[in-house]
Amino acid sequence: MSAPAYPPSLPLTPVSGPVRAGVTLPGSKSITNRALLLAALADGESRLHAPLHSEDTLYMTQALRQLGGAIAETPEGDLVIQGRGGAFDAPSQPLFIGNSGTTVRFLTAAACLTPPGADVVLDGVARMRERPIRDLLGALLTLGVDAESLNGHGCPPVRVRGGGLPGGACRLRGDVSSQFLSALLQVAPYARRDVQIEIVGDLVSKPYVDITQAVMRVFGVECVNEGYRRLSVRASQRYQGRDYAVEADASNASYFLAAAAVTGGTVTLENLGSDSIQGDARFADVLERMGCRVTRGPQITLTGPQRLRAIDADMEAIPDTAQTLAVVCAFADGPSRLAGLTSLRVKETDRVQAITKELPKLGVGVEEGRDSWVIVPPADRRLHGAAIDTYEDHRMAMSFAVAGLRVPGIVIRDPGCVAKTFPDFWGRWEEAFGHE
């Protein structure tokens, strides 16, 4: 699926009153990339229903094909994957993964399942070469895999030697990215010995590990999780091909829920409910604390209040919604404090710094801490327009779309960056809110 063509900058037009919309969301990026890898490793054929088609999932699909995976798209947009039975081919060229964090981390671990002597190189864009992967490489070394950062600075490009995963016990820091842990868990069934992973320090973004375990379970593999302190996977388990319906993306749902919150309107997520396996579905709970009314069931409906309350929130468990909440807090009735932002420093951009630079353009005060913001709305509650830089970060663009519903004169620079996880975001945004 090709992304729509967008201009270099996109002016936004505020709505005239509270929004009213039902929204159908694309599939979850986090779930799609996990399911793609597990289906490629599985015995037999899998079919992924309603997967996400975006830059991030395309990088994963292309890389799996380089590793010998047979992946076909149906006319309906489903993906049919022929499982490789736990073994990949040696690629003839390096795997280019753009700026997809899930792809580089998951496939760095999976690359050891290529033949003995194969060298798999994974590389990406300039920003990817600044994103840490040292802790994952260290854990792989402990588990018997020959893996290294080619530039010696703990970031891609990386080289992984094939020959399988010996297994055993390792220790892994938990305070940088949960994707390292997810990467190890997903390949662990194909180790020669059971794999035990001890988490050092506090594990960030635990809900994403929950997603990993849930998808592994659907494909037939169990993981023992002892309070996120020690996790283990029994060797000789195997993924089994199956039909799997990908949930709608809860991270991308946050912008539509925020639209209702800041306008005092109502939005219904028509294909995402309270039984979601994604932690970011809890974003509705955060907005409820700010005065929104939430109805939960097979669908989630949120209605914004006349006046949003300020909030003190720890976003460590749902970091991909932190920028959305920062923009919502610009419309609250006083200063808000958002903490637990450490992992945002190593995302598509330094998201803590990016919000600190861009929100003040609207007249909003931002006090930046090491892992926190204090968001201070203007005393007269009047925000003004500005051109917003997005730093090649899809979540910057979509978060400030929320402000554009209320504030005249907002222009989004590089609106096409949404292609990373939500290629038709602007079309769906216009469909939902363009005629209020």
pLDDT digits (tens, 9 = 90+) for 151-185: 999 999 999 999 999 999 999 999 999 999 999 99
Percent of the chain with pLDDT over 90: 97
Question: So what's the pLDDT on residue 172?
Answer: 98
Query: What rounded mean pLDDT belongs to the chain?
Result: 97
How large is the average pLDDT for residues 389-408? 98
Question: So what's the pLDDT on residue 3?
Answer: 66
By C-alpha distance, which of 347, 345, 310 is closest to 325? 310
Q: How many whole angstroms separate alpha carbon 122 and alpha carbon 85?
A: 22
Tell whether the model's pLDDT for residue 5 goes beyond 90. Answer: no
Break the chain into its structural domains and give their ranges. 9-25+248-433, 29-245
Query: What residues act catalytically?
Result: 320
pLDDT in tens, 28-43: 999 999 999 999 999 9
Calculate ∠ Cα 253-386-303, nearest 5°. 30
CATH of domain 29-245: 3.65.10.10
> Which option is the CATH number for 9-25+248-433: 3.20.20.120, 3.65.10.10, 3.40.640.10, 3.40.50.920?
3.65.10.10
Q: Which residues pair with 45 in a beta bridge?
A: 82
Asked whether this chain's domains 9-25+248-433 and 29-245 adopt the same fold, the reply is yes
Q: How many whole angstroms separate alpha carbon 375 and alpha carbon 103?
A: 33
pLDDT in tens, 274-333: 999 999 999 999 999 999 999 999 999 999 999 999 999 999 999 999 999 999 999 999
